[in-house]
Amino acid sequence: MAYVIGAGCVDVTDRACLDVCPVDCIYVGDRKSYINAAECIDCGACEPECPVDAIFADRKARSDESKAVFVADSIAFFEQALPGRDAPLGNPGGAAAVGEVGVDTPMVSAL
């Protein structure tokens, strides 16, 4: 995984990160956005654009439990069926084709 979006993004509507992502790998849930690790090219363009410093490299999360939970949560967003969906989102090849997903993982929904 390359980059992860953490707690600072919850309930924030600024999506400047989406505009700068060259591979369209940032998907919009209901309350938070998620980076698809399989589609991310680790360019880092999104990180400085985030006005709330919610984006971080996954390798930084290994020593910070408050960030590590968002690494696991990001994986769950793509690999597990989200509430109200029959199948996992998987790797659809770009967020624009999918549109706003409109639902979050149970962890983010509970925040």
Host H or E run for residue 53: none
Between CA 8 and CA 73 the distance in angstroms is 14
Q: Specify whether the CB–CB gap between 10 and 108 falls below 8 A.
A: yes
Strand partners, 5: 55
Between CA 73 and CA 76 the distance in angstroms is 5
Tell me the domains of the chain and their CATH numbers. Answer: 3-110 (3.30.70.20)
pLDDT at 1: 57
Mean pLDDT of the chain: 93
Q: pLDDT tens digits for 21-58?
A: 999 999 999 999 999 999 999 999 999 999 999 999 98
Structure letter (DSSP) for residue 45: S
Q: Residue 38, class by beta-carbon neighbours within 10 Å (0-12 exposed, 13-18 middle, 19+ buried)?
A: middle
Q: pLDDT tens digits for 75-107?
A: 999 999 999 999 999 999 999 999 999 999 999
Q: Where are the alpha helices (DSSP H) in 1-111?
A: 16-20, 58-61, 65-79, 95-98, 106-110
DSSP three-state, residue 56: strand
